[in-house]
Amino acid sequence: MMEEIEQPLGGEYEALAKEARLQLKRMVEALLFASSEPLSTADIAVRLPDSVDVPAILAQLKEDYKNRGVNLIVVNDKWLFRTAKDLSFMMQAEAIEPRKLSRAALETLAIIAYHQPVTRADIEQIRGVSVARGTLDVLLQTEWVRVRGRRRVPGRPVTYGTSEKFLMHFDLASIQDLPGLEELKGTGMLDSALPPAFSMPSPDDTEDLADDEEPLEDNYELALEAMEEDDKQDTDES
């Protein structure tokens, strides 16, 4: 008799638990679709009941969407929906044709990505040539590069780093997914006969300021003025 009673109760419990998991998954799905920006696990967790296993729900949603027209992806530990790669060609009519970057801008972007945080003087030292203010302006306008802070040296020059939009545009889950030395050699972008002591830095785009950095002014306009001051100092020195 007990078995006859427990069996339906157990089945009912399983059905309720399944319905609860489905509802939680729908809630996370709705949050991600409604958000204009990628969401971290913590961003999602604060909007759900306590003790919800958000990573497990995200993993299930990612699996659910892996063969659909949109996929759930993670970029810089934040989650967002994006058109499936094999269907991206269908979006070309709606896409705005981006302005092609000059070689100087591409080289500057690569230096910032691998060496961040860097100042303009750092970039010039690595490239071996001066960096035009317009080059940095273009990269800031694309929002692939951001102003991080100020270097604790005379003149307090601003420092640059890459942004989350940089990762999203180049389809990188994290800055560590940038190609390494051997990959760049394989693509022909680096000479295979490099000096024995040649090495590449391990890219790090953490938002935490480095030991030799200090916070930027609250007013972003002051940061732009600081960039102009850098330009003026360079002009005066030359």
Domain with 62 in it: what CATH number?
A: 1.10.10.10
Report how far residue 38's alpha carbon sits from residue 12's, in angstroms, rounded to the nearest whole number: 37
Q: Are residues 72 and 120 in the same domain?
A: no
Long-range contacts of 119-122 (CB under 8 A, 24+ apart): 119/151, 119/157, 119/158, 119/159, 119/160, 120/157, 120/158, 120/160, 120/230, 120/234, 121/157
The answer on 143 and 54 residing in a single domain is: no
Quote the number of domains for the chain. Answer: 2
Which residue, 59, 86, 113, sits at the end of a domain? 86
- Looking at residue 182, its pLDDT comes to 74
Q: Is there a single domain that holds both residue 82 and residue 110?
A: no
What is the pTM assigned to this prediction? 0.63
Q: Is it the case that residue 164 has pLDDT exceeding 50?
A: yes
Please indicate, yes or no, whether residues 82 and 133 belong to a single structural domain of this protein: no
For residues 151 and 50, membership in a common domain is answered with: no
pLDDT value for 204: 87
CB–CB of 20/13 below 8 Å?
Answer: no
pLDDT of residue 238: 45
Same domain, 118 and 81: no
Domain region containing 210: 103-237
Q: What pLDDT was estimated at residue 2?
A: 40
- pLDDT for 91: 65
Question: 32-36, 144-148, 177-181 — which is least confidently predicted?
Answer: 177-181
What is the pLDDT averaged over residues 31-47?
91
Average pLDDT, the chain: 80
Same domain, 229 and 119: yes
Whether 1 is covered by a domain: the verdict is no
Whether residue 36 is predicted with pLDDT greater than 60 in this model: the reply is yes
